[in-house]
Structure 1
Amino acid sequence: MSLKVKLFIFMTALFILFSLTVWSYSKHVLEQINEKWAERFVKKQILFDKNRTLLPLLHELEIIKEMVKEPTLLAMARNDKDPLLRKNGIALLEAYRSKFQSQSYFAAFTKSENYYFNDAKNSYNGKQFQYKLSSSQKNDAWFYDVLSDNQAYRINVDTDEFLGTTYIWINYDLKENGELLGIVGTGLDFTRFVRESVGIEQEGVRNFFINRHLDVQLERDTHLKYDENLKTNAGGHKKITEFFTRVEDKDAIRDAIMYLRAHPDAIRTFWVEYEGSKKLLGMSFLPEVEWFNLTLIDEEELQIAKDFSIFPMLCLLFLVILILVAGALHFLIIKPLEKLKSSMQRVEKGNYEVDLSPLGSAEIEALSQEFIKMIAYIRANNVALEEKIQERTKGFMQSEAKLNTILDSVDAFIYIKDVQYRYAYANKRACEHLEVKLEEIIGQSDELFFDAKTIQMIRKIDEEVIHFGHKVTSEDTFVLKDHSMAITCISTKIPLYNEEGIIYGLCGISTDITERKKSEELIKELAYHDSLTHLPNRRMFHETFATMIAHAKRMQKHGALLVLDLDNFKPLNDTHGHNAGDLLLIEVAKRLRACVREVDLVARFGGDEFLVALRDLDEEESAAKAEALKIAGKIRLHVNAPYVLVLDLEDDSRIITHECSASIGISLFSQHSHSKERVFSEADKAMYLAKQKGRNRIEFYEELG
C-alpha cells in the first residue's frame, strides 16, 4: 500500500469520528436554546426597524411644521395670482427645498387649485407651477380627499403620473386662523428610502408597513418595484391580508392592530404561515405616522445557537486531529525527507561524492534511489562539461577580439546593458565620450555618468525595452554629470534574448547629431525671426496669429491686434544714417517685449512697423477693449521715452538722444472674427487714422466712421 493511500485512509477515519461526535453533542443543546431565543430576537428586531423607519419621516415633518408658519407662504396661498406674492412664496419654497432630505417640495392651494413642485435636480427652476388641479381628474383625487380629512398631516406612498415619479408623500395642512388654505409637503424618493431606511437586506427577515386600513405602504426589498408589488390592478394599495392564506393568521393581524392602537408602546408576536413556511410575526405601532410595522422572521434564522455550541468541541477535536496528523507525517514522511534533504544540500554545495543509501519506504524509498542515480549521472557529465567549456572559451575569446575591432571603428556609441541597467559592454567611442576606461564602465549604471534629468530619460526608455521587449528609436539629449558636455543623439535600442526567449539585456546604438541640430536651429531662426531685432518676422507672425484666432474661438474670449508705426523715425535715418535707425529699432523691440505677457506676440512687420497680438482678454467686448487700451497706452508711454543711442564710428563713438512716438491701431477679434487678414486690415486702417489725426495716438477700428 502506498504512502498516499495510507494518509488518505487515516484522515478519512479521523474526519468521520469528528463529524459523528459534533452532531451527537449539538443536536440536544440547540433544540433547548432556540425556543427561548426566538421571541427576544423578534422584539429587538421590531424595535430596530421601528426607529430606523420613523426617524427620517419625523425629520421631514419638523421642517414642514416650520414651513407652514411662514407668513410669505400663507400670503401666496391666499392669492398666488399676485406676481409678487407668488415670486416671494416660490423663493421661500426653494429655500426650504434644500433642507428636505430629498430636496423636493410640493404645494397645492385651495383657492386657486394650482399645484407647484420642484425636485432635487432643480429641474423645474422658473417653472415650479405644474398644472391646475381638478376634482374631475382621477390623479387629483388625493387633494380633495385630504381636504375632507380632519388630520393635520398624512403619509402615504403613491405615484405622481404627471411627473412620472414614486414618492413617500408627506401631506401637511396649510392653515391660518382655522381656515384651510392648501396642502404642502415633500416626497421622499421611494427607491432611496426603501434602500437606506427600510431596504437593508437581512437574510430571513421581511418587513411590511401598513396603515390602519391594512393597506401596504412599504415592503423591505431593495429590488422592489412599487407599482408591480404594492398596487392592485385597479391602482389601489394591496391589503396585507392578501399575503396570508390562513384565516386565523388574518384574524390575528386584525386583533393585533386593534390592540396596538390602544397600547401604542406594546409589541405583539405570534406564529403564522407565510409563503408555505412557518414564520414568527412581530407587530408594533408607529403613532407618529399612523403606520404598523410587521416583521416576519424565518424559523431557521431564529436558531441563533446552531453554530455557536459546536465551536468549543470543534476546537478541541481539531487540536487532537492536528496532533495525530503531525505525528503520523513526521514518522512516515518528514524524517526520511530530512535525511534526503541533507544529502541534496551537500550536492548543492558542490560535493558530488555523496554516498547515500535508500531511505524510508514506498515513494520515499523510490525517490532516494532516483537521487542516487542522478548523483552518478552528474559526476560523469562534469568531466565532459569542463572539457567543452575550456574549448568554447578559447573560441569565444578569439571571436570577441574580432568583434571589438569592428565595433571600435564605428563612429557611434555602442553599448550593452543587463536587466539591472548596468553596462556590460561599451565600444571605444562610448568610452571616449564618458572620458573613462572600459574597465571603469563595466558593472556601473547611468547614475555614475549623467545628470538626474538624463538618467530619468534613459531609464524610461530602457524599461520599455527590457520589460516589454520593444525596439525604441528616439532623439535624446545627453548631459554628463559634471555638465561639461551636452550632445544630441539618435538612439536605437533593441532587446537581447537568450535561447529560452527570455530578455537578458539590451543593445543600444547612439549617433551624435549635435552639429546637425545646431544647423537646423540656425536655419529655423533665420526663417522665422527678424535678423535685426530677433523678433518673429512676418512669416512666423501669420502662422502664430492664425493659431491665436483659433484659440479665441475655442475659448470664447477676445483678443486684440495692435499695428504700431513709429513717428519721427525717418529724420533719424536721414540725419545720422541707417546704423542709428537700426539701434532705435532694436531698443523699440526690447521695450515692446517688456510691455506684454509671455502668451502675447510681438513681431516686426517691416521697416518701422511692428505688430502686437494680445490673447486671453475678457469674454465681454467692453472689458476686452479696456484691457487692450490699457496695454496700448503702456506701449505708447514706453515708446515715447527718450532714446540714448551710441554710434560706433571708424575713429570714435558718438552719443545721440532721440525722441519718437507711435501711432497705434487696434482691432479686437473673438469667436466671431472671420480671418487673420481681415483683422489685420482693420487694425491697419485704425493705425492710419491715428496718423491722420496727428500721430502719437491710439485708435480702435470700431470707432471709424
Structure 2
Amino acid sequence: MNLRPRFLLLTTILIALTGAGLWLLTQQIALGVMQEWALRHFETQVKLEKTRTLQPIIREVTLARQFADSQVLRAWARAPDDKTLKAQALAEMENFRHNFADQSYFVALRESGDYYHNNANNEFAGAEYRYTLHADNPNDRWFYSIIEQNRDIHLNVNPDIPLGVTKLWIDVLLRDGDKILGVVGSGLDLTTFIEQVVSQTEAGISNLFFDHEGAIQVSRDPSQIDFASITKQARDKKTIQQLLSDPLERAQLQALLPQVMHNPGEVGSLYLTIDQQRYLAGVIYLPEIDWYEITLLELDTLLPLSTFNSIFVVSGVFLLLALLLFHLALNRYILNPLALLERAISQLRSGQHTVPLLPRHSSGEVGRLLRHFQEMAAATLLTRKQLEQKVQERTEALERLTQTDALTGLLNRRGMTQQLSLEHQRLQREGEPFGLIWLDLDHFKGINDRYGHASGDQALMTTANIITDVLRPYDHAARWGGDEFLILIRTDDQQLLDQLGERLCQAVAAQQEVLDQQQQPIALTLSAGSYLARNHDSLESILAAADQALYQAKRHGRNHHRSAT
C-alpha cells in the first residue's frame, strides 16, 4: 500500500478517535461550564431571593417592634384592670392594626393570660378580648414557650385554633425593663405569603425556610411545613434533613449551617438530592428573622445538557478543523474573545458597575455570545441598581416612620433628638447659634377628661398646624410628648424667639377649630418658654433652660411666653 492511502487511513482513524474523544470531552467541559456558570450566577440569585423574600417581612418586624415599645401598652400591661389605660391601649392597638400589612394584631398579657385580637375586617371591634390563655392547654403552649425562651422576637407558623386562622406569626416580647409583661405582634396570612413570595419563582427554582433545628417553616408544599415548631420536641418536627436520603448530604448541610450563620450575607452552596432529583442548593442565614433560606436549582430544568447538542457537533467540527488547519484563526476568533469574555465575567462578578467592553468585530456563535452577555450584563446591572434603589427608598421610608409622630405629622421625640444633636454639633463646630421654644397646652388633661380624647387629639393637631404655619422651611418642630411641643429655630436673636413664642400663644388662644360635641369652640391656651443656646452650653443644659422658662410661664399665669437668660 502506498504512503498516501496509509496516511489517509491513519488520518481517518486519528480523526475518528479524536472526534469520539472530543465528543466525550466536550460534553464534560460543557457540563463543567454549566455548573461553573450556575455557581457564579447562584450567589446573586440567592441574594435576590433573600431580598425579595425579606421585603414584606422586614416592615412587619419593624412595626411589631414599635408595637412592643409602645408606652401605652406597657402602662396598661402593668395595670390591666385600669379602664382608662385599657381604653388607651385599645386605641393604640387599633392605630397599629391599620399599619400592619395584614391589618391584624394580637396582644397576650402574661399576668392574666388575656388574649386580644382584631383582624382586617374589624370583626372584633368592641370585643377585642377573645379568650384567656392557659398553660395546660396545648394550643396555648406557644405563648409560654416564647416567654420561657426569653427571645425578644420570634417568627412561628402556627394555626390559632380558637380564631380559626393559620398565619406566619411575628411574636415580640412586651417588656418593662427586664420584666416580661406579655407577647404582642401581628401575622401574615400563610397562604398569601406562600403565593406571593415562595411560589413566585422561576421554573426550576424553589425555596424553603427553616429554623435552627431544621424545622421547615415555609414551603410551597404545605405538607412539608412544621406547624407550631416552638411547642414540639425535636423528634416530632418536620425537618429539612428528613427530605435528604443521603446521610453524607445531611452531614454536609448540617456542617454548612454554622458557617453561614456566623457570616451573614454569605451564601453556602452544595449539591443535594431530594426525591431522586439533584439540586444545586444555596443556603443563606437571615438574621432579621433568625431563619435559614435554602434555594434549590434544578440544573436539568434550567440548563438541560441536550440544548447544547448542536453546539457540541458544530464546535467539534470547528475544533477539529482548527486543530488541523486553522490554529491561528481559532485563537483570533474564539480563544481570544472567550478570554475577554471570561475577564468581563470576572469584572462583573467582582462588582464592577459598568458594562464590560467587548470586541464588536466578532461574528458567529462567539459574537452572538458576546452580544448576549453584554445585554445580560446591562440587564443585570440595571436590575441591581433598581433593587438597591428600592431597598434604599423603603429603608428611608421606614426611617421616616420611626421619626414622625403619627397624630400630628411633626417629628416625634426620637426625630427631634436627632435634629437637636446635629444642631448642637454645628453650634460647637461652627458657632452657628440656635434657639428652643418649649410649648405646653394648658390644662390639657382637663380637655381630655371633659370633652373626650377625640377633642384632645383635635387640639393637638390644631396646635401642630399653627406651629407649622409659622415655621420657616429650615426650622424643626416636634411633639415632644403628650401635650408638649418643642421648636428648634436657627437664629441668634432672642427677640425673634420672644416674638415667635408670643405669636404662638396668641394664635392658639384665638383658634376656633377645636369643637366640643355641641360643635362649640373649646378655648385653648398654651404656655411657652424659650432659650437661646450658647457655645459653652451642653445639650442637656439647653433643654433644661427652655424647660425652666416654660415652668416660669406656667407659674406666672399660663397663656404667655417667658425666656430664659
What TM-score does the superposition give when structure 2 sets the normalisation length? 0.47
If each structure's strand is expressed as a fraction of its own residues, which one has the higher value?
1
Larger RCO (alpha carbons 8 Å, 6+ apart): 2
Q: TM-score, normalised by structure 1?
A: 0.38
